[in-house]
Structure 1
Amino acid sequence: MLAIASCQEKVEVDFGPMPEPSFTMEKVDANTVRLTNTSKGGFLYNWDFGNTEFRTSDDASETFTVFYDFKDDYEIKLTASAKAGAVTTSQTVSIDETIPEICEDEVRRMLSGGCDGPGQKIWVWRNEVSGHIGVGGDEVDPPYPDWWANDPNMEDDLVYDDEFVFTIRGEYIHDNKGDSKCNWYAANENLVGDPRTPTFTGGLGQYQDPILPFDTSAPTKYTIEHKEGERFPTVTFSADNFIGLYNATSTYYIVELTETTMMVRHRYTEVWDGQESGGWRYLQFKVKE
């Protein structure tokens, strides 16, 4: 038997030097910081401003400003990426004041506990009342789910273990324990296929609202708006996040809000066999005891 052995020379690939991230920082006023990227050797730059806001850029010399709402110390991180790898640098900025509008907004105060409170409120389903999930129109005043309302405690326990945290700093933490109840139409359209053909493999029939695995852990901020001409204020979540029931929307009208209870609604539109049904989806919550 003849054996022929060969050896291959090891080839080393030179990816070049590691990037050198750096930036300058200048206070513009009590709540605004001007940042300038002074990095070398990178092709992509990822910013983390320490307030759940982020920025990605390929500009190694850009200058921009960042606004901070709350008095605190924030760690600003810049990660520079190159073929050889990624390197992170950071600096800390001290913000001197909390803007007055934050503490004066009554909706934010009731959602989060206010500037003089514990810093956050934890909301859960108000499952003991009828209509904590429901559908209604604009025919009644005050509005409520007059077309259809679920019964108290009729949902699965996997629905009722969800928690929705609003902080005074504008952060929203959606702890769904790994799964969320989903509107059948939105789930078909956005998660598993075409809502107009619910008989396909994996499709969901009309009103078969499933509980599906859902990752809601992305850093999320909420924004409150009091729009001129609108009947109710709105709350909007970043990162495509939602509250309560997944329905492919991140903006909700706050119909009722007290220190301990809340009812929100959003537009409810489904198409079934060519027929469109419209109205409002209503969701009700309470402060966790």
Structure 2
Amino acid sequence: MTYQNIEFAVDGATARVTLARPDKLNPLDWSTVKELKAVVAEIDAMSEVRFVILTGAGRSFSAGGDLDGYIRLYANPDEFAAFLEDFFAMLTGIEQSSAIWIAAVNGVTVAGGLELLLACDLAIMGSSAQIGDGHLNFGQLPGAGGSQRLPRAIGLLRAKHLMLTGELLDAETCERWGLVTRVIADDALIAAAEELVAGMMGKSPVGLQDMKRLANMTLDTPYSQGLRDEIAFVHRYATTEPDATEGLMAFKEKREPRFGKPKPQEP
């Protein structure tokens, strides 16, 4: 597929996806959402891609939805419903992707941009970047999962603060609140994301996929059930996945493990 609003490149096991409309602060309009949805599917069809670095061109990761476009969509309820479904499918696709998605957050990140960040597995940000919700600043409500993912990420009280005030948080506060795990000098942001990839590259591909699935179970599973599900999950992994035994043998024999290939994306 030829992309107009994003840049997509693959280098070995790592893909790079860049929102590429810097003149508009990388809006998540319908055409961009469709392209992101398509690139998620393309990545999951490429078994060699295990990691994705997602960032924005210019001075913004993404400043959110296209407000001018919403005026037209609001006038057509069926089209607006289709847009919301595409946005939902795209973000759910990132969450359920067999690859590990790393958000490298640069510049201003607001509303839909925050919702995109929250769907990723890891998030780091540049030292001058700012993150906020901002929907209510223009009389809007989150429609891409922000009201559900944000409280799960940083707690209800802090999530309400962001959603109700529209305040932009600086990088230090974002790290302290748990929106991101690391603050990096702006000019070293992509290099830091690549270092994260390098640190995970030697780990079991199947183990990484299953660890992501285990962690994501907490999003919609009651605690007591999650504990039982973990037992079943790890039993299956340990007794059927060769990487589990290979890791133990490598430790015992004091050598580097020889892990297998990642599993195909589940339908």
> Could you say which structure has the larger radius of gyration?
1
Structure number with the higher helix fraction is 2
TM, length-normalised to structure 1: 0.22
- TM-score of the superposition, structure 2-length normalised? 0.24
More strand by share: 1
- Choose between structure 1 and 2 for higher RCO, CA contacts under 8 A separated by at least 6 residues: 2
